[in-house]
Amino acid sequence: MPNPIKEALLGRGWAGKTLSRTETVEHLNPLIEQHIELNRYYDDAIQSCGDERVVGVLERLQKTARTDVGKLSETVLSCGGTPPNGTGLEPEDFTLPGTFPDMLRRLHELETEFNDRLADELDLEHQMRTRGLLEAVKSNSTDRLDALSALRRRAEELEA
């Protein structure tokens, strides 16, 4: 867990023991896997939606999410690891059941799980560069959660 005294004294700098490169890879690879899977669920929602405006919003969210996966992967590579790339995943394994509001609800749940996992990672003593990346990825995840909440409300209103 980050030390608030160190953070207050050192600002963005850091002192003390942080996760090793190997430990960083061990922590980031499962996050990358989860993010890739989450992106596949977004792909299904985009394919299932008939509303062009909603598709546009989801596609913009996906552009950032894919970039985040790339940045996490670059960090793993810079630590000497091999990041997962999702090539063994089949699109049919990532379908969201139910009506479109149900799909958005499930996407929100999956995004919340990912966001919570990012928060757990930020409790660890990651190197500052990795910490900065995780904070940015978490911020983007929070933005997706906000957008999904708004889309869910709209879809539920239209369904009612």
1: in domain: no
pLDDT digits (tens, 9 = 90+) for 64-122: 999 999 999 999 999 999 999 999 999 889 999 888 889 999 999 999 999 999 999 99
149: in domain: yes
Task: Check whether 39 has a pLDDT greater than 50.
Answer: yes
13: in domain: no
Number of domains in the chain: 1
Tell me the C-alpha distance between 43 and 91, whole Å. 8
Domain span at residue 117?
19-159
Q: What's the CATH number where 60 sits?
A: 1.20.1260.10
Tell me the C-alpha distance between 37 and 110, whole Å. 10
3: in domain: no
HSE-CB of 16 using CA atoms within 13 angstroms: 15
Residue 158 binned pLDDT confidence (cut-offs 50, 70, 90): confident
